[in-house]
Amino acid sequence: MLSLADSIRISSPLTETRISTQLFGSRTRRGITIVRSSRRQARVSRCKCSATEQPQPQRRKQRAGKYKKEKSEEEEKGIDPVGFLSKYEINHKAFAQFLRERYKSLKDLKDEILTRHFSLKEMSTGYELLGMHRNMQHRVDYLEWAPGARYCALIGDFNGWSTTDNCAREGHFGHDDYGYWFIILEDKLRQGEEPDKLYFQQYNYMDDYDKGDTGITVEEIFKKANDEYWEPGEDRFIKSRYEVAAKLYEEMFGPNGPQTEEELEEMPDAATRYKALKEQQKNDPSSNLPSYDVIDNGKEYDIFNVIGDPESFKKFRMKQPPIPYWLETKKGRKGWVQKYMPALPHGSQYRVYFNTPNGPLERVPAWATFVIPDADGKQAVAVHWEPTPEYAYKWKHKQPVKPKSLRIYECHIGISGQEPKISSFNDFISKVLPHVKEAGYNAIQIIGVVEHKDYFTVGYRVTNFYAVSSRYGTPDDFKRLIDEAHGLGLLVFLEIVHSYAAADEMVGLSLFDGTNDCYFHTGKRGHHKFWGTRMFKYGDLDVLHFLLSNLNWWVEEYHVDGFHFHSLSSMLYTHNGFASFTGDMDEYCNQYVDKDALLYLILANEVLHTLHPNVITIAEDATLYPGLCDQTSQGGLGFDYFANLSASEMWLALLENTPDHEWCMSKIVTTLVGNRQNTDKMLLYAENHNQSISGGCSFAEILIGNSVGKSSISQESLLRGCSLHKMIRLITCTIGGHAYLNFMGNEFGHPKRVEFPMSSNNFSFSLANRSWDLLENDVHYQLFSFDKDMMDLDKNGRILSRGLANIHHVNDTTMVISYLRGPNLFVFNFHPVNSYERYTVGVEEAGEYQITLNTDEKKYGGRGLFGHDQNLQRTINRRADGMRICLEVPLPSRSAQVYKLTRILRA
């Protein structure tokens, strides 16, 4: 007899199996070994069940060797919590100790997670259980986390907004110890229909939606299973499952059993009972059940050897469970529609109702997948999105292969149209996606697509993390957008905001269950110091469950290819990144660093890259936290790319505050390449949406303004503006890492700023759009043509995917920058006046160099100063820039050229 506390380990029939138990009924404890014979040799192993016979643990030796054992295990797995420090030759004891403590905290956190979840994968798929889900047993299940609530109910148009019709049951069936509430909405029987005979009758709502009721009864299916599946002898206890219990009852309490306590004999021990059983079964017919036997040598403390037949065990284990018969009991969608009416029809509006210590509350469910944040001026509602399979979106295209370099087109759905209104997903598909493909980009990055209540916040104050913004269309519309982008070979990145959340209580997560510490920190720690947004409590397992599942949700449900993590400095520090940074390593490990936030980012990257190896993650951190793009096993945070935010700030400062002749080439290069740590993983951009949305101006507005084609701007000013616009984008794109980004419209010099409708502009949409008609203008079309050829330069010449640029010439006097990247030579002359007929720059290979891109060409709006004979240059055997070979190239003022080695000459 086995109890639940006994330890059982079972392996294959041909290997040893140990069972730690005891033989009840005898006065002595016996060790038992089960042995299964193999073809070569039967192995016998002995184990002792008595606790007194076990050796005492040597705790001091275990403690002494514990550290060495853990260290050796980590080394075997290739784990080094401070690995990236030695890689970059960083020697800082305090930060190294911080990394070791952080790694220990990560291990403890994973152990804590595994006490509640089967695996990290299971923890990051909470959307499969939480929220609203159709159950195959003709019902809808709703699960929500609200630990501060005392009562939970669903209200909506499906039940007349009643707070009592659909509530969670009492006890653990409706509310557990972790604060999760469970509500079941049973589908309603149609008039004249009878309930299903099978209590657990299931319906396949999606896969076999055109399949009806076959008419075969459950009894017929079960009879068919018993007749076809079981072999003779195997179904004995299935057909008469109470036979053993009835015989035992008859023997003990029947008319021929003992009538008094004195007549009740002592129950024989297990060995005697087993011998009696074998004697009783000696004439029984053969069975297909696994055969075994027990050998007893007769000694009082002998160990029983249980000998099993490996062939019979193998045959029994190879038998597949009768799942096909169970699946045959399922009915199709037509059978369900004929019998039931859905308890929650598609398109139903609903909210969750809580009774809390502070009174009743109505909230939009945290895991809602479709939300109307402002329903006709009334309180926000969630919308149940469950289209029938005939109308549900079906994916047509596979996700593109992960490229070696990224050319990202950043866009906002709402302002992507020509008209002064909020554009939709369908507008974006028909008008913007073809333009992005023509422009030569290989990825789009969408901002502001996750549901947010206030449009003027550009989507950064998220209220509903699992819902696409309803102002742009439906969830299926967004799926179609991503699918069409994939069909054009474009990756789709989502800018995700997990660094903070909207402080709105009626539609967001703030005070969700009536308490101040549900998803967020309490007190000042729970509010952003300057933005008023709420700060997540990353140390809470349920908050981690919510955020990790949210990342996985967008990949699984919408097939997004990556994430741009917005404003990490807001979450990594308790001062929200608004302290002055000097670059000292102590600033990355002092008391202001939120270790829980770091652990979340590590888990996020581990989960994403483990479940979806092709997913790309980009970090946006103004403080450039050490190890952003290093592997988590080496002490890093695990991102694929990081955004260099200082580059755009530098260009903006130069354009607005510094005369052209005072630009410092050394500062430009230093800012663009950083400290050369992980430069290959750097995402560079000259300008993104911040320059046009956050009260600023686009570079084109600064350089050429809104007066293109008008007499108010001179030809010289126009030439200066266009030349700098092209040069800034070319050097920013090619000098850094493997990724480049451009904001929608800036590729053709969009001169108007973006201003979302708000009270200060009387909620006007006049500047909340993109003027695509500017492409019909010569100047803007010329800028677009240059940007397109710049993208083709990388597409055809693989510029960004090559190694780091060899920056060998930086001259602040002549204002010339030159660098090599593979066979390509880049030369920039930023001087506003001086041109050079034969400027000397060093090269690595002797040969002929052909111009592949020239900013001064007339088709790009340049002066066209190059003759046809100057497009091909041959090297000279003279040392320059530390190299033994050089080129003498013509350099017009405010121009840049790209040369490619087309022919190698050997001396």
**Residues catalogued as catalytic:** 620
Q: Which two tokens stand for residue 507?
A: 């539609």
Q: Are 737 and 679 in contact (CB under 8 A)?
A: yes
Q: Which two tokens stand for residue 440?
A: 């030569």
3-state secondary structure 787-828: HHHHHHHHHHHCCCCCCCCEEEEEECCCCEEEEEECCEEEEE
Compute the distance between CA of residue 450 and CA of residue 454 in angstroms, rounded to an integer.
12
| Residue type at position 114 | L
Compute the distance between CA of residue 885 and CA of residue 772 in angstroms, rounded to an integer.
47
Q: Which two tokens stand for residue 53?
A: 């016979």
Compute the distance between CA of residue 761 and CA of residue 255 in angstroms, rounded to an integer.
97
**CA Rg value for the chain:** 36
Can you tell me whether residue 66 is helix, strand or coil? Answer: helix
Q: Which residue has the tokens 């076999």?
A: 208
The set of residues, in sequence order, having a beta carbon less than 8 Å from that of 616 and lying 6+ positions away, is 402, 406, 491, 493, 561, 562, 563, 640, 641
Pairing of strands 872-874, 188-189: unpaired
Q: Are 761 and 824 in contact (CB under 8 A)?
A: no
Pairing of strands 824-829, 816-821: antiparallel
Compute the distance between CA of residue 155 and CA of residue 364 in angstroms, rounded to an integer.
11
Helices (H), 677-777: 689-693, 699-703, 715-734
Locate the DSSP E strands across 429-555. 443-447, 450-452, 462-469, 491-496
Q: Are 840 and 887 in contact (CB under 8 A)?
A: yes
Backbone angles phi, psi at 227, to 5 degrees: -75, -35
Q: Which two tokens stand for residue 99?
A: 């990394």
CA dihedral sign, ordered 420, 424, 428, 429: negative
Pairing of strands 340-341, 682-684: unpaired
Compute the distance between CA of residue 570 and CA of residue 576 in angstroms, rounded to an integer.
4
Compute the distance between CA of residue 698 and CA of residue 241 in angstroms, rounded to an integer.
80
Q: Which residue has the tokens 């700060």?
A: 535
Pairing of strands 359-363, 331-332: unpaired
Q: How many CA atoms lie within 13 A of 506 on its CB side?
A: 11
Compute the distance between CA of residue 23 and CA of residue 294 in angstroms, rounded to an integer.
14
